[in-house]
Amino acid sequence: MANKGQLLRDFIRLSENAYNNVYTAFKRTAYLERATLLPAVGDQAFVAEAAQGQVNSVEVRGALRIDRLPYRRKEVAGSGGMNSRPDDGINVVLDSLDIYKFDRDKPSLTNSFLYKSQVRVAYFKRAKGKWKPHLCVRYDFARSYGSHPIFHAQLENGVPDASVRAMFPDLPEIGEPLDLHFKVRLPTANVVGATALLSLAADHLPLTRFPDVLRAVRAQALFKAEPWRCDCSSLDGGLAPQSMLASRWYSTNLEDAP
């Protein structure tokens, strides 16, 4: 029987492959739209390893820059045709950290649950050699108390912090940070690094290709309705229902699309 160290390494491999399989599906369609994808580490958008400062846990870090992503997807719902507006594209920077733990401290897929995550998706438009923040959303999941929704999103000013700059040292200067009410917490489905790519595909890539990315998420054992779970013990004293994962919030009919 494999020891705990080997089981942990097996889960690290499984989770890294799951995230990057979704990235590969997203990348295929994004390339067809002439977007440029720049992962921070080699050709992978996500890297998994033993979690820093945690015992018997796994973290999956994501870091991806996307240039010239279409501002709008080409198909316009109900139009029967293509969007004729010119689209110079937008720039997107995604960074994420998802931490998984295990029931009874025994690493395995069936014992795994999401313990904590933070995913940031920042959108920029080019303006006179600088990047102007268009929108910056941070999705959070951690032990929540009081008025904090279990899963929520908050808006940020769009200025990359030091850790993001370290991953992407060639980022242009940022002009005109967003002036917003930053303390509003918007309830959401749970968004991890891989499902953030799913939302980008839904909003910016051709609708006819979106099912490819959705199927890629749902095909991964890590993201299936069973065994996907998350730790909501701080509020509910137990584990939340699987339907809270963002990929389950899309129509199941899309899985059958050609």
3-state secondary structure of 106: coil
Distance CA 206, CA 72 (A): 9
pLDDT value of position 229: 86
pLDDT value of position 228: 82
Which residue has 């279409």 as its token pair?
Answer: 70
3-state secondary structure of 133: strand
pLDDT value of position 84: 41
pTM of the model: 0.90
pLDDT value of position 244: 77
3-state secondary structure of 72: coil
Residue among 245, 194, 190 nearest 26 (CA): 194
pLDDT value of position 248: 82
Convert the pLDDT of each residue in 200-227 to its tens digit: 999 999 989 999 999 999 999 999 877 7
pLDDT value of position 236: 63
Beta-carbon contacts of 229 under 8 Å, excluding residues fewer than 6 positions away, are 112, 113, 114, 239, 240, 242
pLDDT value of position 48: 97
pLDDT value of position 81: 41
pLDDT value of position 80: 41
Distance CA 19, CA 66 (A): 17
* Tokens matching residue 29: 């369609």
pLDDT value of position 146: 67
Cross-strand bridge partners of residue 120: 95, 138
Q: Which residues of the chain have pLDDT under 50?
A: 77-86
C-alpha neighbours within 13 Å on the C-beta side of residue 44: 14
